[in-house]
Chain A
Amino acid sequence: MALLTEVQKNYGKLKNYVNGEWIDSTSDKVIDVENPSTTESIAKVPMSTVDETKAAIEAAQEAWWAWRETPPIARARFFFKLKELMEQHFENIARIMVQEQGKTIDEARGETRRTIENVEVAAGIPSLMMGYSLEDGAAEGIDEEAIMSPLGVFGAICPFNFPAMIPYWFWPYAVATGNTYILKPSSQVPLTQWYLTKIVEQAGFPPGVMNLVNGSHEVSDTLMEHPLVKGVSFVGSSPVAKYIYKKSSENGKRVQAQGGAKNSLVVMPDAVMDRTVSNMLASYYGCAGQRCLAGSNMIAIGDIADPLLNRWVEASKRIRMGYGLDESVNMGPVVSAKAKKKVLEYIDGAQKQGAKILLDGRNAKVPGYEKGYFIGPTVIDGVTPDMTIAKEEVFGPVVSFMRMKNMDEAIDFMHKSPFGNAASIYTQNGKWARDFRYRVQCGNIGINVGIVAAMAYFPFAGYKDSFFGTLHGQGKDAISFFTDRKVVITRWF
């Protein structure tokens, strides 16, 4: 099967988008953006300076009041326009994502759809940000109302695994509620946001309302320190999420910092085998295991373990790897050489600790893409709760197979984890499912669903060290995060 055409072979050096203009960074630090399937450099991204970030923040602040005074329904119209343009550019957005991140075209199309859904929800802002009022609420003849008010400039520091969608968990809601925005995409995958920001520009948002600044910690630190920035959103690993939360909080900012995960999928003895296996394949191997909602531990309860493991290994062997622009590919590479090395170390470590590698993806090669950062589906049997691979986030297509006597044992094990992002149960038993969702301390629970990805109109975040903050991304939480409640009490003499 021929590959789908790449949008461009090379995108050159990327610019920042500040105050409605595309500006070259003056930084002498520039890094290559790599296609993880071919390892070719496909663009160069500047590590913008502190002063460039400050200039973007000041431009956003300058734009804020006029934007805040724009009626919500008029602000919504920009998002309707943006949605239309995103539909027109749908395929290009998806293909660029494949090129820079390595995921498959199906995954990229799915992500593009979810990105658009956030724009669609944000377009409903006149209803979403309505406050509330009560006649005679304060006393007889004195009315009381609560107004949802925007705050000013917000910023996001984004990860590599969802180059399109994750920034859209935040900025559409921030801007729709009347704030202005600074977006810093991952320097590993800046192209998708570069392309999307060109679409934002076409949608006609006023200059300074939405700004894109490429870079690394100089940009992030400036966002967290600058007095004009009211709040910061972050998605990444737990240690960094904790740092972002602490530093931004110390500087008086609102923070929502989403961290890592170690998700367990529990298969009960009555699980429907065919559907369970098929659904879990997407969870463990989708995006090459680089979702924060990816399955990592597979916990088989009771005597389903052996038949499940046999079926699982056979199904895993049939996962087809390759460059994601081949539509028949099920799984792409991991994002970088560094990411691959880390995953391989986890597999080596599990072996050293006594686990058995039933399916070994360490030496996987894809013809034509021998240099690519591919790791084949890997199934590790005999994993016990004390092993490192059972406890730490691997972020690769690796399944740690564990056997437990009952659901209580599985829940006890999960509760020992510092993470609380997601957990799933596969069963036909309503009582087991109800107990699981009631007891498990995770932000996202799946019942016969292996990727518990909240839709745009629901909040998304984990528990414990998977999330630092109070208000989650997306949904009504996003509206609350990006607004403050102003109470007005009125009496007329």
Chain B
Amino acid sequence: MVVCEFPECTTFGSVIRFALELEKGAAGVCEELAKEPKMGPAAEIFRALAESHKKRGTAIEDMRQQKLNEMILEPIQDMHRENYLISTEYPKGADAKTAGRFAAKIEETSAKFYADAARIAKPLMSEGSRLLDKLSKESLANKAKLEAL
């Protein structure tokens, strides 16, 4: 099982850390699900999703390094950690349908997290907000794909 450590979302850095943990969790779960014996052709979808989540993590780290500006370091006081927690205890021995539903739940939570983060970032950092918004939309698309398995 992938172990994620989700912080309280009280600062820009902790929101980014939360996002990185989400991506790590999602990538890890997809990697493991791809290896499940009953996965069949869906294994390729999970492998591709795992790769995509790793790339998303890199994009988020780049944003942290390139876009953070001292002037916009306002405390974040209205994002609550418990609203965005995901489970990475994936169902061992699952078939594609069960695995798809499990991973779709992660994508649904991620989509909500990124949508809220994008809203908060928008007045402070529009380019960062666009990336977060894009990730939210991607997660929704991933969810639909997984639910169709």
A: residues with CB less than 8 A from B are: 1-2, 87, 90-91, 104-107, 109-111, 113-114, 275, 278-279, 281-282, 285-286, 315, 318-320, 326-330, 449, 451, 453
Contact = CB atoms under 8 A, between A and B. Distances in A.
A7 B72 CA distance: 26
Contact of A104 (B5, B13, B66, B71): B13
Nearest to A275: B123
Contact of B14 (A275, A285, A328): A328
Nearest to B6: A1
Interface residues of B, number: 24
A282 B65 contact: no
A318 B9 CA distance: 12
A1 B69 contact: no
Contacts of A320: 8, 10, 75
B81 to A, nearest CB: 9
B137 interface: no
B73 interface: yes
Given A113-B66, A453-B70, A318 B77 contact: yes
A114 to B, nearest CB: 6
Nearest to A320: B10
Interface string B56-99: 00000000111011111111010000000000000000000000
Contacts of A109: 13, 64-65, 68
A330 B72 CA distance: 13
B75 A282 contact: yes
A431 B77 CA distance: 32
A449 B71 contact: yes
Given A113-B69, A278-B74, A2 B13 contact: no
Given A282-B75, A449-B71, A106 B12 contact: yes
A474 to B, nearest CB: 14
Instruction: Give the interface centre of A87, A110, A279 by most chain B CB atoms within 10 Å.
Output: A110
B13 A106 contact: yes
B1 to A, nearest CB: 18
Contacts of A326: 7
Nearest to B123: A275
A327 B66 contact: no
Given A87-B65, A109-B65, A113-B65, A451 B11 contact: no
A286 B14 contact: no
Contact residues of B: prevailing secondary structure: loop
16 contacts: A91-B65, A107-B73, A113-B70, A278-B75, A281-B75, A282-B72, A315-B75, A320-B10, A320-B75, A326-B7, A327-B16, A328-B7, A329-B10, A329-B11, A330-B10, A453-B70
B17 interface: yes
A109 B69 CA distance: 8
B65 A327 contact: no
B11 A327 contact: yes
B69 A327 contact: no
Contacts of B65: 87, 90-91, 109, 113
Contact of A327 (B17, B68, B71): B17
Interface in B1-40: 5, 7-14, 16-17
A2 B5 contact: yes
Given A107-B70, A320-B8, 12 more contacts: A91-B65, A106-B68, A114-B69, A278-B74, A318-B75, A320-B10, A320-B75, A328-B9, A328-B10, A328-B13, A329-B10, A451-B71
B77 A106 contact: no
A348 B104 CA distance: 57
B44 to A, nearest CB: 35
Nearest to A111: B70
Q: Rank and list the top 6 A-B pairs by shortest CB-CB distance, nearest first.
A: A110-B70, A1-B7, A328-B14, A327-B13, A106-B13, A327-B14
A315 B64 contact: no
A1 B8 CA distance: 8
A319 B75 CA distance: 8
B119 to A, nearest CB: 13
Nearest to B12: A106
B5 A286 contact: no
A113 B7 contact: no
Nearest to B66: A113
A286 B73 contact: yes
A110 B73 contact: yes
Given A1-B14, A87-B65, A106-B13, A279 B74 contact: yes
Contacts of B75: 278, 281-282, 285, 315, 318-320, 330
A111 to B, nearest CB: 6
A285 B13 CA distance: 16
Nearest to B16: A327
A163 to B, nearest CB: 14
B74 A281 contact: yes
Contacts of A279: 74
Contacts of B16: 327
A114 B71 CA distance: 11
A225 to B, nearest CB: 35
Contacts of B64: 109
A124 B117 CA distance: 35
Contact of A1 (B5, B72, B77): B5
A45 to B, nearest CB: 26
Residue among B12, B72, B77, B123 with most chain A CB within 10 A: B77
Nearest to B65: A90
Contacts of A107: 70, 73
A139 B70 CA distance: 52
Nearest to A104: B11
Contacts of B77: 278, 315, 318
A279 B75 CA distance: 8
A264 to B, nearest CB: 18
